[in-house]
Structure 1
Amino acid sequence: MPGPAKLTQGSTLKHVVYMSATGAFGLMCMFLVDLVDMLFLSMLGEKEAVAAVGFASTIMFFTISLSIAVSIAATALVSKAVGEGSIELAKRRAVNVLAFGILFSSAVVWLLWPKIPHILLSIGATGRTLDLATGYLQILVLGMPAVMIGMIGSGIMRALGDARRAMYATLVGGLVNAVLDPIFIFAFGLGVQGAAIASLIARFSMVAVSYYGVVHIHKMLGEFDLMDFFQDVKPIAWISVPAMLTNMSSPLANAIVMEHTASFGDDAVAAVAVIGRVIPVVFGGIFALSGAVGPILGQNYGAGRFDRMHSVITSAVIYAFGYCLLLCFCLYQMQDWLVSVFHATQGSAELIRFFATFVSFSFFFQSLLFIAIAVFNNLGKPFNSTLLNFGRATIGTWPLITLFSLFMGAEGILFGQAVGSVIFGCLGFYTARNYITELEEKEARDIVSSNHHRYEEIL
């Protein structure tokens, strides 16, 4: 059985660091497994195989984003119920989010599976690459309900403050994938399809780990009731749908950046591709921040601990500043090694060095945006997160990179992105802090009004 709301007690900084570190480790494991996947397939000596997985990954990013969005709803709803001390409501919300996720992901698979060849063709896959990508994706998409269950299970465990077991689901999935990849690709001679089968099995291993943690350790699944499910669909969708839209903004920003970068030639495109691979590994602790702060805020909001909610925000900023300061210094020191290991040309090397020297610290301001997204997703205004992230991806990207690239060339694209991160990070953080203050003042007014009514009843 779940214990008391442990995130409402103890050091908020300790909670932020622990939840972020475990989340970052799981994310980095996923990114590293993707790199290993590509490495094994490149050993086949068939460029179409690598290209096929590249095309398929674009579609898989979309399906995984949907799973992450529903897991955000699970974390927000369960953590608030736990903070209120209503364990039965938390169990009900947990089983209903899982039911919602299974139904939703199954519907996506049913709609997506027959259209896979047409979708891949529309994004540029042709010939043998199209055939390989279709076979790969048709196997992998079948595992979307498993990914959904695994992500929701991890979200429920984070809502309880059990970030360690939430990390295990991702970690075990990554390890299973890495072990099975060479067996299915080389030993069984299945090539790209072997990589897909290995990934599919890995996703079911995530389900097993999540199920063990949620059901056997925490005993967090209540009995399914259809009327309760229909009652909970609205709050689940209210958080999930904006979170899905929020997740879609990142590929939009990347597409805008890549389109502008292409006009500066292959060296610039290669540099941006290298930076894109470095960012998730170096700044994984920042990307995990939103998922870490969310359950801490949720439990304390449920418990009415606004003092701790303000403290959580401050602790998150301290963590992000320290993390960025350390990792940006390391990145600055390692820039020559990065240029060497990726065999960067002179033009690419200049952009990589510019990013490592001048632009990388802008991720601190991006972390402020992630904190704001956590606030709005978990405290009842998820559409604010969507507006902020789409704002950064559009007016915080396109006009700025266009302007600065006129004066700075390709470096202006990186600098424009950084300026956009500063603007929207500060804007998001300011509005998020004000929103918490508004909630606190509203609760105080409600308490005064309630006491006044009781006094009148006594009289």
Structure 2
Amino acid sequence: MAHPQAKFTTGSTMRHVVVMTMTGALGLSFMFLVDFLTLFWVSRLHQEVLISAVGFAATIQFFVVSVAIGMMIAGVALVSRSLGMGKGARARRIASVVLIYATGMQTLLALLVFFFRRDILVWSGAEGETLEVAVQFLSISLPSLPFIAMGMCASAVLRAVGDAWRSMLVTMTGGAVAVFLDPLFILFLGLGVDGAAMVIVLSRLTMAVIGLYWLGVSHKMLAKPRQWDMVAFLKPYLAIALPAVATQLSTPFGNWILIRAMAEHGDSAVAGFGVVSRLTILGFGGIFALSGAIGGIIGQNAGAGLRDRVAQSYVDALKFCAIYTGVTWALMAAFADTIAAGFGLSPEGAHIVRLFSHYAAGSFVFTGALFVSNSAFNNLGRPVWATVSNWLRDGILMAPLAFGMGLIWGAGGVVMAQALANTLIGIGAALIGWRYVRAGRGIVTRERAKA
């Protein structure tokens, strides 16, 4: 069996960054298109309380999915570095073990959240009809979380191998399923919010099946783990996975803080923020994909001992981030009123959408800088630094800013609090990351790479 090869150690680093990020962005955007379309078609039922309920449920699920993302990041780091060192067989075994770890953990977490879903929603500020609808939505959709872990891990390993096209298509298929089935289940079959949850289950199952097929059949990147593999790879995997999971959990925690602060201003404000959250993930797919996309590039070049290419990849990623954010911000500002009207939001909810689109969206250039530095830290042996950076933003700054600015300026203050936190931490993390990369730390020497 031919060993997989490192593809990112030659050629233009900017080209690799653009290709991997854009294909990752398209795939990720289509995956998050499921949530966006769910919210859109639910809004066609013309009950703002349903939009609020789906927003609460999505925030809760984001916590569990973030664990899978963190475990995926660890897998990409190990697989890409093994490929960079020319150890294809090892990379194949790691990929298989990562899938087992991620799917098993996602199953346990899904069960835990399922049993405590009502209590968690109450803590989040949901009440009345909003609470009951959100509980029912989670009852149907939570059992499908192991499928999304399989699909995301398969897509990530495909990206680490260099197969940008198939990596993109794995997640795009999930969005394609939602495009066709959401209006059918929600409106034409009259299933409403229950139908929306059913479509999410089918979408995640499709991702898992296609991802595993391409990973195992097309790339032969799945191998039956040896008895000692599950133990032998556990320590190096956890060394990256634990801080990576902790890092990823900061984002949904920050979102939870924001929606909790927004709940102080009523269901209309929560509905508006629910649209903003889905719009953020969909519109800034390139920013969210950036960390995972360049992880394989940095990992392979670090494994090969190519210090200059690691530094250039970091700079190119920041350049891409600035351009992508500028274009997306302009489009959001231009279509803010259309988006608010399309979801049938009340004046207060529409104000939240316009405020974010015209002003706060620009802060995502700093969110992207934070993600770029996270990727460098995760792939160059300092994953704890990524954890600290993210929790400074979401665990330390977000709550006092969101509740404080919300108290002074209302629901709009909560939106701008997120932008301020993004800006402050993003600038600091980018500067620290650049100093670390430029010093060449965490990069394998050429002699060790050849060993």
TM-score (norm 2): 0.86
- Stretch deviating more after TM superposition (405-414 or 210-219): 405-414
1:419, 1:64 → 2: CA distance?
25
Tell me, what secondary structure is at the counterpart of 2:91?
helix
Structure 1's 99 and 312: CA in aligned 2 closer, same or farther, altered over 3 A? same
Displacement of 1:335 in angstroms is: 4.6
Structure 1's 437 and 40: CA in aligned 2 closer, same or farther, altered over 3 A? closer
Query: What's 1:202 paired with?
Result: 203
Q: Are positions 1:211 and 2:212 aligned together?
A: yes
2:156, 2:85 → 1: CA distance?
18
Structure 1's 441 and 22: CA in aligned 2 closer, same or farther, altered over 3 A? closer
1:123, 1:243 → 2: CA distance?
24
Q: Are positions 1:325 and 2:361 aligned together?
A: no
2:413, 2:303 → 1: CA distance?
45
Displacement of 1:4 in angstroms is: 2.3
Q: Are positions 1:65 and 2:66 aligned together?
A: yes
Displacement of 1:218 in angstroms is: 0.7
Residue identity matched to 1:208? V
- Stretch deviating more after TM superposition (96-105 or 416-425): 416-425
Query: What's 2:313 paired with?
Result: 312
Structure 1's 119 and 417: CA in aligned 2 closer, same or farther, altered over 3 A? closer
Q: Is the 8 A contact 1:76 1:298 kept in 2?
A: yes
1:270, 1:49 → 2: CA distance?
9
Displacement of 1:112 in angstroms is: 3.9
Structure 1's 61 and 410: CA in aligned 2 closer, same or farther, altered over 3 A? closer
Displacement of 1:104 in angstroms is: 1.9
Structure 1's 267 and 114: CA in aligned 2 closer, same or farther, altered over 3 A? closer
Structure 1's 161 and 67: CA in aligned 2 closer, same or farther, altered over 3 A? same
Structure 1's 339 and 156: CA in aligned 2 closer, same or farther, altered over 3 A? closer
Query: What's 2:169 paired with?
Result: 168
Residue identity matched to 1:98? L
1:412, 1:16 → 2: CA distance?
35
Deviations 1:169-219 (A, max 9, x none): 111122223333344445665544443333222222112211121111110
Residue identity matched to 2:296? P
2:54, 2:406 → 1: CA distance?
32
Displacement of 1:237 in angstroms is: 2.1
1:397, 1:133 → 2: CA distance?
25
Query: What's 2:366 paired with?
Result: 365
Tell me, what secondary structure is at the counterpart of 2:378?
helix
Displacement of 1:15 in angstroms is: 0.9
Please give the root-mean-square deviation of Cα atoms over the aligned residues, in Å: 3.4
1:340, 1:192 → 2: CA distance?
21
Q: Is the 8 A contact 1:2 1:160 kept in 2?
A: no
Deviations 1:113-159 (A, max 9, x none): 44444544554556766565444433322222221111111111011
Query: What's 2:297 paired with?
Result: 296
Q: Is the 8 A contact 2:144 2:201 kept in 1?
A: yes
Structure 1's 418 and 144: CA in aligned 2 closer, same or farther, altered over 3 A? closer
- Stretch deviating more after TM superposition (74-83 or 121-130): 121-130
Q: How many residues align?
A: 447
Structure 1's 69 and 440: CA in aligned 2 closer, same or farther, altered over 3 A? closer
Displacement of 1:371 in angstroms is: 0.3
1:134, 1:426 → 2: CA distance?
39
Query: What's 1:105 paired with?
Result: 106
Structure 1's 24 and 46: CA in aligned 2 closer, same or farther, altered over 3 A? same
Deviations 1:318-340 (A, max 9, x none): 11122223233333444554565
Displacement of 1:284 in angstroms is: 1.9
Displacement of 1:403 in angstroms is: 7.1
1:149, 1:101 → 2: CA distance?
7
Displacement of 1:77 in angstroms is: 0.8
Displacement of 1:282 in angstroms is: 2.7
Q: Which runs of 5+ in 1 are unaligned?
A: 449-459
Residue identity matched to 1:144? L
Alignment of 1:14-413 (within 5 A): 14-43=15-44, 52-120=53-121, 122-123=123-124, 132-185=133-186, 190-258=191-259, 272-335=273-336, 337-338=338-339, 341=342, 355-400=356-401, 413=414
Residue identity matched to 1:363? F
Deviations 1:10-69 (A, max 9, x none): 111111111111111122223332232234445556777655544432332222112212
Q: Is the 8 A contact 1:293 1:316 kept in 2?
A: yes
Tell me, what secondary structure is at the counterpart of 2:8?
helix
1:129, 1:270 → 2: CA distance?
11
Residue identity matched to 1:176? V
Query: What's 1:424 paired with?
Result: 425
Structure 1's 325 and 50: CA in aligned 2 closer, same or farther, altered over 3 A? closer
Residue identity matched to 2:228? M
Tell me, what secondary structure is at the counterpart of 1:219?
coil
- Stretch deviating more after TM superposition (188-197 or 148-157): 188-197
Structure 1's 296 and 193: CA in aligned 2 closer, same or farther, altered over 3 A? same
1:247, 1:79 → 2: CA distance?
20
2:355, 2:183 → 1: CA distance?
37
TM-score (norm 1): 0.84
Q: Which runs of 5+ in 2 are unaligned?
A: none
2:360, 2:127 → 1: CA distance?
37
Q: Is the 8 A contact 1:146 1:203 kept in 2?
A: yes
Tell me, what secondary structure is at the counterpart of 1:220?
coil
Deviations 1:208-236 (A, max 9, x none): 21112111111011221121211111222
1:400, 1:427 → 2: CA distance?
18
- Stretch deviating more after TM superposition (74-83 or 433-442): 433-442
1:87, 1:143 → 2: CA distance?
32
Tell me, what secondary structure is at the counterpart of 2:228?
helix
Tell me, what secondary structure is at the counterpart of 1:226?
coil
Q: Is the 8 A contact 2:34 2:174 kept in 1?
A: no
2:368, 2:268 → 1: CA distance?
29
Residue identity matched to 2:428? L
